[in-house]
Amino acid sequence: MTQELKLYVRTADQTRRAELGVDPQSTGAEILQAAVDNWSLPIDTDYTLVNTTTGKALAPGERLSQVVRPGDELEVQPVLVAGG
C-alpha cells in the first residue's frame, strides 16, 4: 500500500490554505486542478505550482514523489501574460 504524502497547498495571495494527504503518484497538474475546483479559482487563468519550501516550480506531469517531501508547502500561482 502506498504511503500518503502530507502537504500544504495555498494560493499566492495566501487567502486559502489546506493540508492535504495525497497519493505520492499524483501529479502537479492534478493538485492544480483540485485547487481550481475546490476553491472556485478563475478557470480562464493558467496556473503553476511552486514548492515554496525549495523555491522550485513543479512541471505539470511530474509525480509528487519525485519533487516534494512530507510537510512541503505548495503555492498555486497564476501565470501572468504580458501584452495583448
pLDDT of residue 19: 96
Which domains are delineated in the chain?
A: 5-78 (3.10.20.90)
State pLDDT tens for residues 9-56: 999 999 999 999 999 999 999 999 999 999 999 989 999 999 999 999
SS (H, E, C) the chain: CCCCEEEEEEECCCCCEEEEEECCCCEHHHHHHHHHHHCCCCCCCCEEEEECCCCEEECCCCEHHHHCCCCCEEEEEECCCCCC
State pLDDT tens for residues 52-79: 999 999 999 999 999 999 999 999 999 9
pLDDT of residue 81: 76
In the chain, what is the greatest distance between 2 CA atoms, to the nearest angstrom?
Answer: 49
Residue 1 in grid coordinates? 500500500
- Residue 2 banded pLDDT, cuts 50, 70, 90: low
State the sign of the Cα–Cα–Cα–Cα dihedral 32, 37, 38, 41: positive
Model-level pTM? 0.89
